[in-house]
Amino acid sequence: MIDRVLADPSIVRGLLTRGAPYWTVQRYVKNLSEMASLSDAGKRGRKDRPMFIAPWFRGDWAYDAPRVEGAEVFLDHAGFRDAAQTMFEGGLIVPQIVYVNLNPPIAQVDPGHVDIPAFRGVDRTRYPVWLLATMLKSGLFDRWYVPSVTAVSWYYEGEGGGFTYWPDGPDQPPISRPCISNSAVVGDNDYMFHRVEAVGPDERTLPKGLTLESQLCWAGDAWEVVEQGDVRARYTLDEVRVSVSWKAQVFADGEQQALYQNHEDDLTIEQVIETLLADLAARGTPIQRPEDALHDRAFVETLNAAYRRAPD
């Protein structure tokens, strides 16, 4: 736990407006089957209907280097690095990503999810996030897994917006932490399930008809949810829950870091698909290799059934 992240948390407002607009977080998945690889929320909709798009938005402020002016205040945060070093004693901590989540008033829609892992040769810059989450849950690719640590900090003083997390595993009781502005929780979010609790007052009106192209835009004095030029909702700055996540890679030693940097032992996508198919066959559920394994919904659903791991 970090009680005070920034000496001057007011600088977050400048980062928010400079980083706008923001895209729906569901843009990383194409349908409910892919969503179910990350969270059981994907099981709540009907497959014959369009996926419900929640007003939950995200943007990257840094990826290996700052993308938004001022993101260094998070990317180079000494307290995050120190906490990560405490968690992974002896590990080499390499800050990599800073991203922001923005939640206008919304009911609790997520039963708990994990973050997107990375593997040597296979990461989110090239391949779908559903596949990466499945690879980690399967346990078949641990040799290539690049461990990470995440610091989640909050900038919101409105109603709700707490943080639920399962530090002892998804089959054990979770912890609910109130949304304490300018504080942070540092954890292993590739493995530790977590979720956003309901944001705002009990009476909420959600914007309707959102798609994967919806954006959250800064209009100079308020946030606007925009769908193809049409403003679907408008919120004051204080109504939107903001969380900023810092992610760092963790290498056991210099040799492991060199393997990652030099690509001497990278996975190929062919290895991944063949390994998953072989494991399904060994489990008694053999299937034909799909023509397009990265986007075949039946393949995704078969893997979800084989490797499901989620809070009860």
Is residue 2 domain-resident? no
**Is the pLDDT reported for residue 46 higher than 70?**
no
Residue 231's CB is within 10 A of a number of other CB atoms, namely 12
Would you say residue 165 has pLDDT above 70? yes
Contact between 152 and 299 under an 8 Å Cβ cutoff? The reply is: no
- Beta carbons of 258 and 249 less than 8 angstroms apart: no
CATH code assigned at 137: 2.60.120
Q: Cβ distance 198 to 160 under 8 Å?
A: yes
Q: Is residue 204 very low, low, confident or very high in pLDDT (cuts 50, 70, 90)? A: confident
Q: Is residue 312 part of a domain?
A: no
Measure the CA angle with vertex 87, ends 246 and 59; round to 5°. 10
The answer to whether 282 and 50 have CB atoms below 8 angstroms apart is no
Q: How confident is the model at residue 53 (pLDDT cuts 50, 70, 90)?
A: confident
Q: Which has the higher per-residue pLDDT, 44 or 115?
A: 115
Q: Inform me whether the pLDDT recorded for 104 exceeds 90.
A: yes
Residue 4 lies in a domain: no
Residue 48 pLDDT = 64
Residue 72 lies in domain:
11-307
Specify the amino acid at residue 110. D
Number of domains forming the structure of the chain? 1
Give the single-character DSSP code of 18.
H
Residue 3 placed within a domain: no
Give me 37's structure tokens: 């690889």
* pTM score, whole prediction: 0.92
Percent of the chain whose predicted confidence (pLDDT) is above 70: 97
Tell me if 5 is assigned to some domain. Answer: no
Residue 209 clears pLDDT 90, i.e. is over it: no
Sequential DSSP letters for 233-261: EEE-GGGSEEEEEEEEEEESSHHHHHHHH
Task: Please tell me the distance from the alpha carbon of residue 233 to that of residue 227, in angstroms, as a whole number.
Answer: 10
| Tens digits of residue pLDDT in 131-156 | 999 999 999 999 999 999 999 999 99
List Cβ neighbours of 117 (8 Å cut-off, separation of 6 or more). Answer: 132, 133, 135, 136, 145, 146, 148, 190
C-alpha to C-alpha distance for 298 and 116, rounded to whole angstroms: 21
pLDDT of residue 114: 93
CA atoms within 13 A on the CB side of 228: 4
Instruction: Answer yes or no: is 162 within a domain.
Output: yes
CA 118 – CA 100 distance, rounded (Å): 19
Contact 287, 299 (CB under 8 A): yes
| Average pLDDT of the segment spanning 88-102 | 95
The whole-angstrom separation of Cα 282 and Cα 138 is 13
Residue 79 lies in a domain: yes
Mean pLDDT of all residues in the chain?
93
Query: Does residue 6 lie within any of the structural domains?
Result: no
CA 255 to chain centre: 28
